[in-house]
């Protein structure tokens, strides 16, 4: 189990540190399930690493079958990752508070770092037989990092808050990273079908994944990921037991005052303020109800580290004061207001006594208070007024459903609830109770675990070829145009990366496929490289193809022969720089004259000397006013003209197919390297692109991914066979 918080809280008291188990149905359901199977719970203790008295930093000893592993966080990390990205960026955005969403790359980086650390602890605590269940919005990137560290782990993810529509999610600069993060799991669980739909749409629209809506599947990085709705529930038996006790305790005769109840974590998504206004509206419109109703709002303070929550508290205080000031009479105030956490027995007693529960979040993943209130109505009485923006509204259709933003509508629903005939109340409540009892939280845990098993097994059985999946995605796009222009980078795309560039040889299989492709009708193959043109032509050696060398400065192929104008002007500077670099080769460095550029290879230089040499070479190239780029074990100087692989690709397309090529040609670029990103970017929206291999840092302009040159070869074979043309029908 991996969750932001471990299932207990650490209280610091004068007499020492006290560890309390977290109350709540979820922990009560998850722990026994974990204990039954034997497992580890990974999470944060809630204390900063700096104030690490052993008890606060380290989790308590294992209980029965469950061990705890703490993920240490510094106060700075807590501020950025937890109070920052999780609670000021994801929380508001996923609840449709777009204007309140903070966009800050520093908090994003901290979130990524902390998620990586959680994944590391989870990887160390599990093996390939284990199922790792990751929880919630604080840990959306954990499946991604875990998959990288332990590719064969079975991973399930459950999101406890809403998953927003694609148009909302895309506001976030890191929206793709978040979806990719989740989709590294075998199963992604959400509360209700509309959230699952949003996940599928986001995977399709923001990542270009192939999606099977009927089956609830996303094909992502060669794996099939299930996306399913699993509405969470509560510990029904426990609520019923407490309600039973409460009933016995309260034998006071029916009071003439109708009790209305609100219970929430203090949070702006819960609509507490709007709810107060609805009570005010009720009293304005129906003066006869004065002295006859009492509204009790219970709130647990939460996230006190986040500034917005303090402001909200002040705002609610003021409104309660104003409304009570306006309507109170001797011996009666309309609003009673408790700010603290109540023990479960007291909370359930309040539920049991309340005639009406007002559960009106502006947006809520599920909302357990609604279900708890229903479960506590042992005599099937009481009315639930429920926001249609809560996930719970999907199941609890017999409640009075309201739009929580519409103060008039909520006031009218309250009025209706207070007037509702007993028969109607019982009919509605018994239907609701039946529904809640049928889906207890233990059943939810079991169902989710079974679904995870199924998804994990399927993921192991279907070793889907990533190239096959890509073909299916590309086919409809290819079918719209008559010709395909396929651009292929050389190193890392057609051949695996090797320690010494001079050893990168094209496999015989790849050469034969290229040879066949050169003769395929309506297929135009272009090989692109940073290598010198002559070197590239000699290495590939297939006639009839177009070759782009030197990052685009030289192009040759059927009907095209191009050298960038500026090349001649810079030839002397390039040669002079190369001659100077020759003088630095004593310790094993090597100079490569590539025609349009000069490369200085330092991979073979002893570690200790490398940095100094690199700095010297860089300074020397800059003195010659060349553009310097740093590769792995390599420094390169190029003419400082705005020309790169992206420009070259467009030049080939325009030269060969005319300026209006996009209406007739499907241009597809496959590359693995930073310099290929220029081409991906040029083709954004007018062509398509595929990045090969993992990207350090994650970000890429490419539309799709392929894992390695082998997968590229599979795709290339498909093109060479001409089958893409068949896709047109």
| Residues designated catalytic | 489
Which range, of 27-35, 208-216, 263-271, 683-691, touches ligand ADQ by CB under 6 A? 263-271
Determine if 366 is a binding residue for ligand ADQ (CB under 6 A): yes
Give the shortest CB-596-to-ligand ADQ separation in angstroms: 58
Give 372 or 554: the residue with its C-beta nearer to ligand ADQ. 372
Q: Give the shortest CB-158-to-ligand ADQ separation in angstroms.
A: 8
Tell me the two tokens of residue 582: 């020759």
Please give the Cα distance from 25 to 157 (Å, whole number).
19
Alpha-carbon distance of 224 to 712, in angstroms, equals 20
Binding segment for ligand ADQ among 76-84, 367-375, 473-481, 525-533 (CB under 6 A)? 367-375
Q: How far is the CB of 425 from ligand ADQ (least distance, A)?
A: 22
507 CB-near residues (< 8 Å, 6+ apart): 495, 713
Closest among 160, 93, 153 to 119, alpha carbons compared: 153
- Please report, as residue ranges, which positions from 165 to 204 form the binding site for ligand ADQ (by CB under 6 A): none
**What H or E segment, with its residue span, contains residue 47?**
none
Provide the mask over 10-49, with x wherever binding to ligand ADQ is found by CB under 6 A and - wherever it is not: --------------x-------------------------
Q: Sign of dihedral through CA atoms 192, 228, 263, 417? A: positive
Per DSSP, which regions of 558-626 are E strands?
560-563, 590-593, 598-601
Q: Does 93 bind ligand ADQ (CB under 6 A)?
A: no
Please say which residue, 373 or 704, places its beta carbon nearer to ligand ADQ: 373
CA separation (Å) from 429 to 191, 323, 381, 435?
22, 31, 6, 10
Contact 27, 41 (CB under 8 A): no
| Minimal distance, residue 238 CB to ligand ADQ, in Å | 11
Q: Is 404 helix (H, G, I), strand (E, B) or coil?
A: coil
3-state SS of 408-444?
Answer: HHHHHHHHHHHHCCHHHHHHHHHHHHHHHHHCCHHHH
Phi/psi class of residue 236: alpha, beta or left (left: φ > 0; alpha: ψ in -120 to 50)? Answer: alpha
Burial annotation 118-139 (CB, 10 A radius, 16+ → b, else e): bbbbbbebbeeebbbbbbbbbb
For 636, the enclosing helix (H) or strand (E) is: strand 634-638
Binding residue (CB under 6 A) for ligand ADQ from 31, 112, 274, 372: 372
Q: Which residue lies nearer to ligand ADQ by CB, 271 or 492?
A: 271
Find out whether 649 and 689 touch, Cβ atoms under 8 Å. no
Strand order in the sheet with 293-300: 335-339, 293-300, 258-265, 356-359, 383-387, 400-402
Stretch that binds ligand ADQ, among 102-110, 358-366, 471-479, 711-719 (CB under 6 A): 358-366
For the bound state, the minimum distance from the C-beta of residue 178 to ligand ADQ, rounded and expressed in Å, comes to 17
Cα–Cα dist 388/271, whole Å: 12
Q: How far is the CB of 288 from ligand ADQ (least distance, A)?
A: 31
Task: Give residues with Cβ within 8 angstroms of 233, minimum separation 6.
Answer: 25, 368, 371, 436, 439, 440, 441, 443, 444
Give whichever of 283 and 386 is closer to ligand ADQ, judged by the CB atom. Answer: 386
Among residues 169 and 366, whose Cβ is nearest to ligand ADQ?
366
Q: Answer yes or no whether residue 300 interacts with ligand ADQ by CB under 6 A.
A: yes
CB of 213 to ligand ADQ, least distance (A): 24
Confirm or reject binding of residue 367 to ligand ADQ (CB under 6 A). yes
Our finding on whether 229 is near ligand ADQ (CB under 6 A) is no
Which x/- pattern, by CB under 6 A, does the window 323-342 give for ligand ADQ? ------------------xx
Of the candidate spans 7-15, 364-372, 482-490, 653-661, the one that interacts with ligand ADQ by CB under 6 A turns out to be 364-372
302 versus 516: smaller Cβ distance to ligand ADQ:
302
By CB under 6 A, is residue 347 in contact with ligand ADQ? yes
Strands 598-601 and 590-593, sheet pairing: antiparallel
Binding region for ligand ADQ (CB under 6 A) out of 109-117, 361-369, 568-576, 692-700: 361-369
Closest CB 391 distance from ligand ADQ, rounded Å: 6
* Options 31, 235, 264, 636; binder of ligand ADQ; rule CB under 6 A: 264
* Shortest CB 256 distance to ligand ADQ, Å: 27
Interactions with ligand ADQ, residue window 231-260 (CB under 6 A): 232
- Answer yes or no whether residue 594 interacts with ligand ADQ by CB under 6 A: no
Which region, judged by CB under 6 A, interacts with ligand ADQ, from 165-173, 359-367, 423-431, 484-492? 359-367
Report, in Å, the least distance between residue 367 CB and ligand ADQ: 5
Q: Assess contact for 710 and 467: CB atoms under 8 A.
A: no
The Cα 255–Cα 292 span in angstroms is: 9
Contact range with ligand ADQ by CB under 6 A, out of 201-209, 262-270, 431-439, 518-526: 262-270
Give the binding-site size for ligand ADQ (rule: CB under 6 A): 19
The answer to the question of residue 228 lying near ligand ADQ (CB under 6 A) is no
Packed helices 709-720 and 466-478: angle between N→C axes, nearest 10 degrees = 40
Longest dimension (CA), the chain: 102
Buried b (16+ CB within 10 A) or exposed e, 69-84: bbbbbeeebbbbbbbb
Nearer to ligand ADQ, 298 or 690 (CB): 298
Stretch touching ligand ADQ by CB under 6 A, among 207-215, 216-224, 362-370, 681-689? 362-370
Which residues sit opposite 690 in a β-bridge? 670, 704
Of residues 265 and 674, the one with the C-beta less far from ligand ADQ:
265
| Shortest reach from residue 348's CB to ligand ADQ, in Å | 9
Q: Are 261 and 351 in contact (CB under 8 A)?
A: yes
Nearer to ligand ADQ, 211 or 366 (CB): 366
Task: Examine residue 365 and tell whether it contacts ligand ADQ (CB under 6 A).
Answer: yes
Q: Does residue 161 belong to the site contacting ligand ADQ (CB under 6 A)? A: yes
Rounded distance between C-alpha atoms, residue 405 and residue 55, angstroms: 45
> Which stretches of the chain bind ligand ADQ, using CB under 6 A?
24, 160-161, 232, 263-265, 298, 300, 341-342, 347, 364-369, 372
């Amino acid at each position: 189990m991996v969750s932001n918080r471990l299932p207990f809280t650490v209280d610091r008291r004068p007499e020492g540190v006290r560890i309390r188990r977290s109350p709540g149905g979820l922990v009560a359901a998850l722990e026994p399930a974990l204990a039954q199977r034997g497992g580890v719970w990974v999470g944060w203790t809630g204390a900063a690493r700096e104030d690490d008295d052993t008890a606060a930093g380290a989790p308590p000893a294992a209980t029965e079958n469950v061990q705890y592993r703490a993920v240490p966080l510094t106060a700075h990390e807590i501020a950025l990752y937890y109070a920052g990205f999780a609670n000021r960026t994801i929380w508001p955005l996923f609840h449709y508070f777009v204007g309140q969403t903070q966009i800050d790359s520093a908090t994003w980086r901290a979130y990524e770092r902390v998620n990586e650390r959680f994944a590391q602890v989870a990887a160390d605590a599990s093996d390939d037989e284990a199922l790792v269940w990751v929880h919630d919005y604080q840990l959306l990137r954990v499946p991604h990092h875990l998959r990288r560290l332990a590719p064969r782990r079975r991973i399930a993810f459950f999101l406890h808050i809403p998953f927003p529509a694609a148009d909302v999610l895309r506001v976030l600069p890191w929206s793709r990273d978040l979806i990719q993060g989740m989709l590294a799991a075998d199963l992604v669980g959400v509360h209700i079908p509309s959230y699952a739909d949003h996940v599928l749409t986001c995977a399709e629209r923001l990542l270009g994944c192939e999606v099977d809506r009927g089956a609830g599947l996303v094909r992502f990085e060669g794996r099939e990921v299930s996306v399913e709705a699993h509405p969470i529930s509560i510990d029904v038996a426990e609520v019923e037991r407490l309600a039973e006790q409460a009933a016995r305790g309260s034998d006071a005769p029916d009071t003439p005052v109708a009790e209305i109840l609100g219970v929430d974590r203090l949070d702006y998504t819960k609509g507490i303020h709007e709810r107060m206004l609805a009570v005010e509206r009720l009293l304005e419109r129906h003066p006869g109800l004065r002295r006859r109703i009492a509204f009790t709002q219970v709130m647990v303070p939460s996230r006190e580290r986040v500034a917005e929550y303090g402001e909200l508290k002040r705002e609610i205080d003021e409104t309660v004061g104003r409304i009570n000031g306006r309507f109170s009479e001797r011996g009666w105030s309309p609003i009673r207001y408790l700010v603290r956490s109540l023990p479960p027995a007291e909370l359930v007693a309040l539920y049991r006594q309340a005639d009406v529960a007002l559960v009106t979040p502006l947006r809520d993943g599920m909302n357990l208070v609604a279900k708890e209130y229903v479960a506590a109505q042992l005599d099937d009485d009481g009315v639930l007024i429920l926001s249609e923006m809560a996930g719970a509204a999907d199941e609890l259709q017999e409640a009075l459903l309201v739009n929580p933003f519409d103060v008039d509508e909520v006031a009218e629903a309250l009025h209706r609830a207070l007037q509702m005939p007993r028969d109607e109340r019982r009919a509605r409540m018994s239907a609701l109770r039946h529904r809640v009892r049928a889906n207890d939280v233990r059943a939810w845990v079991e169902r989710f675990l079974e679904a995870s098993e199924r998804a994990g097994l399927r993921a192991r059985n279907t070793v889907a070829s990533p190239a096959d999946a890509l073909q299916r995605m590309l086919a409809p796009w290819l079918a719209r145009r008559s010709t395909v222009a396929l651009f292929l980078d050389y190193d890392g795309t057609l051949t695996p990366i090797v320690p010494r560039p001079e050893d990168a040889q094209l496999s015989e299989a790849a050469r034969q496929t290229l040879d066949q492709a050169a003769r395929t009708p309506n297929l135009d193959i272009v090989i692109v490289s940073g290598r010198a043109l002559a070197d590239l032509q000699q290495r590939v050696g297939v006639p009839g193809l177009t070759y782009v060398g030197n990052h685009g400065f030289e192009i040759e192929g059927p009907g095209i022969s191009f050298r960038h104008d500026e090349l001649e002007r810079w030839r002397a500077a390039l040669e002079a720089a190369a001659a100077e670099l020759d003088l630095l080769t004593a310790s094993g460095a090597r100079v490569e004259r590539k025609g349009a550029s000069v490369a200085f290879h330092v991979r073979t230089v002893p570690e200790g000397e490398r940095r100094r040499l690199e700095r010297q070479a860089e300074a020397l190239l800059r003195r010659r006013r060349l553009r310097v780029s740093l590769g792995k074990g390599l420094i390169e100087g190029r003419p400082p003209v705005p020309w790169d692989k992206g420009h070259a690709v467009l030049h080939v397309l325009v030269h060969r197919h005319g300026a209006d090529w996009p209406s007739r040609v499907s241009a597809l670029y496959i590359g693995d390297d930073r310099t290929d990103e220029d081409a991906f970017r040029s083709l954004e929206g007018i062509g398509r692109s595929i990045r090969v291999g993992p990207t350090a840092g994650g970000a890429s302009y490419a539309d799709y991914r392929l894992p390695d040159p082998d997968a590229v070869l599979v795709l290339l074979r498909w093109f060479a066979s001409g089958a893409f043309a068949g896709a047109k029908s």
